[in-house]
Amino acid sequence: MNKNRLDNCFPIKTILMLLIILYHSCVFWTGTWWDSDPAFPSQVLGSFAKWLNSFHIYAFALISGYIFAYKVIKGGYSEYGLFLRNKAKRLLMPYVFVAFIWVTPISEYMFKWDIGYLAKKYLLAIDPSQLWFLWMLFGVFVIVWPMRKLLLEKPLVGWVISLGFYGIGLIGRHIIPNFFCVWTACQYVLLFFVGMRIREKEEKQERLITEALPWYGWIIADLLLFAGTMIVGRNSGTVWSLIAIALNLTLHVVGAVMAWTTLQSLANKVNWKDSKAFKTLSSYSMPMYLFHQQIIYFTIIWLNGKVNPWINAGVNFAVALIGSFLISAFLMHWKTTRFLIGEK
C-alpha cells in the first residue's frame, strides 16, 4: 500500500497541474486577475476558480513533502550543498529561462508595464506570475532541510515550527516586500510538513489523518470550509479578519488532504500505468505549467465579450493545454533545452 501511494504521486501531480491550468482558465471571472472586467460576468465560474485555488498548489506542496520525507527516511538528501544545487537546477534554472524568454516579453506586450515594475516582478521575484511556485518550493527546501530530522522525529515540535513559519510568512509580507517569494515559502512549510508527517506515519504503520474520513467525507468537509471562508470574507473588522485567517489556514490543510485522499483513491481505481498518452502528458506536466498562463492571455482578449463565459473558459483551457503541450514537446527534444526547463 505504501508503494502504491508513492507511485500514485506521479499521476496525482499531473492531475494537480491540469487543475492549475483549469484554474487559470477560469480565474478571469473572479474579477481580480486582469486590468479589465469580464464582459459577461459569471459568479459560478469565479467561485469555482476560488475553490480550485484553495487546494491545488497546497496539495502539490503536501506531495512534495511526502516525497521528500520518503527520500530522507531512506538515507537520501544527506548533503545540503548538493541538494540545493540539484533543486536550483530543477527550479531556478527554468525560472530564469522562462521568465526572460516568455513571461516578461508577453507581460510587457499585454499590460505595457514599465521597466521598473517588470524588474520588481521578475528580477526580484515579487509576484512573478505563475513562476512564483518555483521560488516558493525552492525556499521551502532551503528552510526544511536543516530541520528535516527534527521535524520527522519530534512531530509536536514540527507542528509548532511549521505553524510558526506560517505566522512569520503572514506577518513578514506586511513589513518587507515578498522578495523571491520568501514569505510565501514560509507559509507553505506547513503544507510540506503535513506531507512529511503522512509519509512518516506510513513508514511506522501508524493510523493516518487521511483515514479519519473517507475520500468523499474530505470533499464535504472541504466544501463546507470553503463556504465558510466565503461568508466570513464578506465581513470586515479585526475579529472577522482573525477568523478569516484561521479558517483559510484550516481550509488549505483540509483541501490539500482532500485532494491527496481523493486522487489516491482515483489512482488506485484507474490503470494509469498502462496509458502511454497519460505518461507522456505526465512527463510534460511541469513544462506545461511553466508556459500555459500567457497563452490564456491571448484567448481571453480574443473571446471576452464575444462568447458565453463557459465557452470562453473552455477554450482557454483547451488552447492552453494544447499550446503548452506543443511547446513542452518541442523543448524536450534537445538536451540543452531540457536543461533550461529543469528536465533531465
**74 and 136, same domain (yes or no):** yes
Are 102 and 323 in contact by the 8 Å Cβ rule? The answer is no
Are 165 and 187 in contact by the 8 Å Cβ rule? The answer is yes
Tell me which of 190, 208, 226 is where a domain ends.
208
Give the confidence band of 206 by pLDDT, cuts at 50, 70, 90. Answer: confident
Domain count, the chain: 3
**148 and 221, same domain (yes or no):** no
pLDDT, residue 31, reads 87
pLDDT, residue 2, reads 64
**138 and 156, same domain (yes or no):** yes
Write the Ramachandran bin of 76: left for phi over 0, alpha for psi from -120 to 50, otherwise beta: beta
Tens digit of each residue's pLDDT (9 = 90 or more) over 229-257: 999 988 888 898 999 999 999 999 999 99
Are 225 and 217 in contact by the 8 Å Cβ rule? The answer is no
Proportion of the chain above pLDDT 70, given as a percent: 99
131 pLDDT more than 70: yes
Q: Which of 26-30, 116-120, 203-207 has the highest mean pLDDT?
A: 26-30
**343 and 223, same domain (yes or no):** no
**254 and 322, same domain (yes or no):** no
The pTM for the full model equals 0.94
Tens digit of each residue's pLDDT (9 = 90 or more) over 173-205: 999 999 999 999 999 999 999 999 999 999 888
pLDDT, residue 273, reads 78
**24 and 140, same domain (yes or no):** no
Contacts of residue 158, Cβ cutoff 8 Å, sequence gap at least 6? 150, 151, 152, 193, 196, 197
**176 and 250, same domain (yes or no):** no
Contacts of residue 132, Cβ cutoff 8 Å, sequence gap at least 6? 125, 181, 184
Range of the domain at 175: 58-208
Residue 228, classified by CB atoms within 10 Å of its CB into exposed (0-12), middle (13-18) or buried (19+), is middle
Contacts of residue 207, Cβ cutoff 8 Å, sequence gap at least 6? 201
Give the confidence band of 69 by pLDDT, cuts at 50, 70, 90. Answer: very high
Average the pLDDT over 204-214 and give the result: 83
Average the pLDDT over 284-301 and give the result: 95
**177 and 265, same domain (yes or no):** no
b/e 27-58 (16+ beta carbons within 10 angstroms → b): bbbbeebbeeebebebeebbbbbbbbbbbbbb
> Distance (Å, rounded) from C-alpha 33 to C-alpha 29?
8
Tell me which of 167, 190, 208 is where a domain ends.
208
Q: Which residue type sits at 124?
A: L
Mean pLDDT of the chain: 93
Give the confidence band of 1 by pLDDT, cuts at 50, 70, 90. Answer: low
**159 and 83, same domain (yes or no):** yes
Tens digit of each residue's pLDDT (9 = 90 or more) over 149-159: 999 999 999 99
Q: Which residue has the cell 509548532?
A: 160
**68 and 104, same domain (yes or no):** yes
Give the confidence band of 57 by pLDDT, cuts at 50, 70, 90. Answer: very high
Tell me which of 189, 208, 227 is where a domain ends.
208
**64 and 136, same domain (yes or no):** yes
**182 and 246, same domain (yes or no):** no
